[in-house]
């Protein structure tokens, strides 16, 4: 399922907060683990745009030494991995490596060598998310790190489901993690209450209609979630169905209430469109979520059209 996991590192302690997560998933799925360090050559250029060969070689040697040390630490806890150094712009090279080496999951820290900022993810993570178009895991660098390389487990996982087949594509991965780590799985569905834009208060007939719709949606949701639960082989599953006019807010509240330590999301749900790599709820969790997050891309690269920015960049060659 996760045959090849890619772990981009930039040499910082913040970026290394992904290591326990990568070890946990690698052990759970028997995955091949690859460490990747991208050395950004432009940083060595002087005012004339020339690269100092001595400085460049020193930076490359430092990167090799760093990756070798991380590789040794992982091997000391029984995790085999490969390590590669690539020259270029980090986000672009991470995406290209994943594309050409059959990577099934990229695991990234939300922040790295540039430090934790007020933004929930840094620019490199954002670029990889929007261009890789494969499953990605984000580990929040501002949270208390797990100190040991080995032994991290997820006690409670949450999957938001909206009744679509797209949203359900995350289920096999979640079930596999739960089985290996004996995690509790929360299947969550929010019944969105209808909003009627009215200048005047609703009358009794309108309110009765809304309540009837809510009852029908609630019953359908319960039938749907029970059906999904019965399809799973995992025993420790709890279903959560709530009514709300603000589904995304309610999902965040459930995460806090149930102490969820890993959220798994499909990139799209019912309203997903292949013009964009993520739907609105997934985008919200990328931008504002506070827990580790795994996003499964439910569409293949071939199903996405190119954005205007991509088309212009190709035609203008970046100028």
Tens-level pLDDT at each residue, the chain (319 residues)? 799 999 999 999 999 999 999 999 999 899 999 999 999 765 444 445 556 677 778 888 899 999 999 999 999 999 999 999 999 999 999 999 999 999 999 999 999 998 999 999 999 999 999 999 999 999 999 998 898 999 999 999 999 999 999 999 999 999 999 999 999 999 999 998 877 777 678 788 878 888 888 889 889 999 999 999 999 988 899 999 999 989 999 999 999 999 999 999 999 998 777 788 999 999 999 999 999 999 999 888 888 877 888 888 888 876 6
The tally of CA atoms less than 13 A away on the side-chain side of residue 186 is 25
Q: What are phi and psi of 280, to 5 degrees?
A: -70, -35
317 vs 312: CA distance, rounded Å: 8
Q: Per residue in 176-209, pLDDT tens?
A: 999 999 999 999 999 988 777 776 787 888 788 8
pLDDT number for residue 42: 57
pLDDT number for residue 1: 76
The tally of CA atoms less than 13 A away on the side-chain side of residue 225 is 23
pLDDT number for residue 8: 97
CATH of 1-152, one of 3.50.50.100, 3.40.50.620, 3.40.50.300, 3.40.50.1100: 3.40.50.620
DSSP β-bridge partners for residue 138: 108, 293
pLDDT number for residue 294: 97
Q: Where are the domains of the chain?
A: 1-152
Tokens 């996003």, located at residue? 295
289 vs 158: CA distance, rounded Å: 13
For residue 23, which of 82, 87, 80, 106 has the smallest C-alpha distance? 80
**pTM score of the predicted model:** 0.90
Instruction: Determine the 3-state secondary structure of 233 from DSSP.
Output: coil
Angstrom distances, CA of residue 234 to CA of 66, 180, 182, 185, 304 = 40, 10, 9, 8, 34
């Amino acid at each position: 399922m996760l045959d090849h996991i890619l772990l981009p590192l930039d040499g910082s302690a913040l970026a290394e907060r992904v290591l326990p997560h990568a070890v946990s998933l690698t052990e759970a799925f028997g995955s091949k683990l690859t460490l990747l360090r991208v050395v950004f050559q432009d940083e060595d250029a002087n005012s004339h745009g020339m690269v100092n060969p001595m400085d460049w070689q020193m930076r490359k040697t430092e990167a090799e030494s760093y990756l070798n040390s991380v590789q040794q630490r992982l091997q000391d806890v029984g995790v085999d991995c490969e390590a590669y150094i690539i020259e270029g712009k980090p986000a672009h090279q991470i995406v290209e490596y994943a594309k050409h080496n059959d990577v099934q999951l990229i695991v990234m820290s939300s922040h790295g060598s540039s430090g934790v900022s007020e933004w929930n993810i840094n620019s490199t993570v954002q670029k990889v998310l929007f261009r890789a178009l494969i499953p990605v895991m984000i580990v929040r660098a501002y949270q208390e790190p797990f100190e040991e390389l080995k032994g991290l487990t997820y006690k409670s996982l949450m999957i938001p489901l909206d009744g679509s087949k797209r949203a359900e594509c995350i289920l096999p991965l979640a079930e596999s993690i739960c089985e290996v780590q004996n995690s509790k799985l929360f299947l969550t569905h929010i019944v969105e209450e209808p909003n009627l834009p009215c200048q005047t208060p609703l009358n009794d007939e309108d309110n009765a209609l809304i309540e009837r719709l809510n009852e029908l949606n609630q019953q359908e949701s319960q039938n749907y979630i029970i059906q999904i639960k019965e399809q799973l082989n995992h025993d420790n599953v709890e279903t959560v169905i709530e009514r709300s006019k603000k589904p995304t807010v309610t999902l965040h509240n459930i995460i806090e209430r149930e102490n969820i330590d890993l959220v798994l999301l499909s990139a799209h749900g019912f309203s997903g469109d292949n013009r964009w790599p993520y739907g609105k709820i997934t985008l919200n969790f990328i931008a504002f979520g506070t827990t580790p997050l795994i996003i499964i891309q439910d569409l293949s690269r071939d199903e996405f059209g190119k954005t205007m920015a991509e088309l212009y960049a190709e035609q203008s060659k970046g100028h």
